[in-house]
Amino acid sequence: MIEKRDFYINGQWVAPVEPHDFHVINPSTEEPCAVISLGGAADTDAAVAAAKSALPGWMATPAEERIALVEKLVEIYQTRSEDLAQAMSLEMGAPIDMSRTSQAGAGIWHLKNFIRAAKAFQFERPLGEHAPNDRIIYEAVGVAALITPWNWPMNQITLKVGAAAIAGCTMVLKPSEQSPLNAMIFAEMMDEAGFPAGVFNLVNGDGVGVGSQLSGHRDVDMVSFTGSTRAGTAISKNAADTLKKVHLELGGKGANVVFADADEKAVKRGVLHMMNNTGQSCNAPSRMLVQRPIYDQAIETAAQVANKVSVGPAQEEGRHIGPVVNEVQWTKIQDLIQKGIDEGARLVAGGTGRPEGLNKGYYVRPTVFADANNQMIIAREEIFGPVLTMIPFDTEEEAVEIANDTPYGLTNYVQTQDGDRANRMARALRSGMVEMNGQSRSAGSPFGGMKQSGNGREGGVWGLEDFLEVKAVGGWAAE
C-alpha cells in the first residue's frame, strides 16, 4: 500500500493541518492501492499564501530564466517517465503500454511545445508604428488555482503548470483525488528542477473541499479547471464573488461525420478512437453520423471492430483497454447503456455487465448502438465510457444540424475526400476543434471548446496567453 500523506507547500513537503485519509482504488482490482491525505481550509490558505508571497519575485524573473527552469523540468521528466506511467496505470486504469506512450508522453509533449512557443513570444512589444511611445506588456495573471481531472492526468497538469510557470504565475495544484500519485511525483520533479519556493504548491483534496476553497479564495486570481460541465458551472458561480478569471475545459459529445466518400478505414478508425482510454476522453468521437448509402456497411464494420477490442487489467502489457476509473463511473455507464436499450436504439456490440471472464474490476464491454436519433439520452449525455452511438443522415445540411444540436462544442470530426465539403464543414461545425480524415492537430495547436464545453484554450501560444494579462502603456520611457 502506497502512502502519500504530505503536501508540497512553499518548497517543502509538509503534513496537512487536519488530514483526512482517502483510499485510492485500483480500478483493475477494486482494491485500495494507496492512502493519501485530503486537506482542509488551513492547508488551502497556507498554499495560497505561499503562492501570493512568491508572486512578485517570480513575475520579475526574466522570461528566459522561467523558460530555462521548464527546460530543466523536461530533463527530469524524462528520468521519471516510467514512474509516472506506473502511477497512472495503477490509479486510473490506463493499460501500462498506453500509459507509457500516451499518458506519460502527453506531458513531455506539451512542455516542449510551450518552450518552443515561449521562445518566440514577445512579452513586451510596441503597439504599432502609429504609436511609437506605446507598449503592450504581457504579465502574469497572478496566483492560479489549477484543478485537474483523473482521465488524462499528466496531459492536464502539464498544460496548466507549463503555461502558468512560463507566464510568471505562481500556482496551487489540486489534482483529482482519484489519481493523485502521478501529481505527487510531478511535485517532486518541480522541486528537483529548482523552482523557487512558493511558485508551485500541491494540496490534495476533493472538489467540495479544497476545490471550492480555491475557486472562491480572495487571494486566487485565476482558476484553470478541467472536468465535468456540472463542476465547471459550480466553480464559475463560486468564483463570481471575487471576479477572478476562470478558464474551463469541460465535457463533450463530439460528432464524427462519415460521408459516403470517406476512406475505407474511416469507420474502423472512429470506433478505435472512441474506445481509446476506455472512452474516458472529453474529445471522444462518441456520435458517429454516417451518410445513408454506406450506413448499413458502417454498422457491420463498427460491430466487428468493437467486438475485437480486448479488455483487461491495466498492469498487463498489450493493446487492450483497461477499466473505467471507479464504481461511480461504472454504474453510470451501465445505466446509460440500459437507457439506450430502453429507448430503442439497436445494440450491435457489447451491452451491460462486465466482459466475459472479468468478474472483478470496473470493466465495461465495448458497446455500439445503431439506429439512434439525436434526441436519445445516449446521443445527448456524455457517457465517458467505451460506448459509441451511430446515427444515419442523408445530406450535408442534415449532418451539420445533427452535429451542432448539442449543448457541447469541443471536438468534431469529418471523414470525406471532397476538399470543398471539408472546408464547408470546418466552418459550419460549432466546436473549438475540427479534425479531418484521421489527422490530429499539430504541435502547438490550441485545445478548447465552445458552448458548455468551456472557454479559453490550452497549448502553445494560446495556452500562454490564458495565463497572461494585457497591459497597455502610453508615453513609454525608453530604457
- DSSP label of 442: P
10 three-state secondary structure:
coil
137 three-state secondary structure:
strand
What does the H/E/C string look like for 228-283? CHHHHHHHHHHHHCCCCEEEEECCCCCEEEECCCCCCCHHHHHHHHHHHHHHCCCC
Q: Which three cell numbers stand for residue 59?
A: 513575475
Question: In 259-396, where do the E strands start and end?
Answer: 287-291, 346-349, 367-370, 387-393
Q: Are 2 and 181 in contact (CB under 8 A)?
A: yes
Q: What is the β-pairing status of strands 222-226 and 245-249?
A: parallel
Residues with Cβ within 8 Å of residue 235, at least 6 apart in sequence: 147, 211, 215, 223, 225, 246, 248
Give the DSSP per-residue string, 175-231. --TTS-HHHHHHHHHHHHHTPPTTTEEE----IIIIIHHHHT-TT--EEEEES-HHH
How many beta carbons lie within 10 A of that of residue 210, not counting itself?
25
Which listed residue (282, 382, 458, 465) is catalytic?
282
Phi, psi of 445 (to 5 degrees): -70, 140
Residue found by looking up cell 448499413 in the block: 296
Q: Are 12 and 191 in contact (CB under 8 A)?
A: no
Question: In 60-159, where do the E strands start and end?
Answer: 124-128, 131-140, 143-147
The reply to whether 282 belongs to the active site is yes
Q: Are 386 and 366 in contact (CB under 8 A)?
A: yes
Q: Which three cell numbers stand for residue 285?
A: 468521437
The whole-angstrom distance between residue 343's C-alpha and the CA centroid of its chain comes to 31
380 burial level (CB within 10 Å; 0-12, 13-18, 19+): middle
- DSSP label of 43: H
> How far is the C-alpha of 370 from the C-alpha of 145, rounded, in Å?
42
Residue found by looking up cell 495547436 in the block: 445
Which listed residue (249, 382, 458, 465) is catalytic?
249
Which residues are marked as active site? Answer: 249, 282
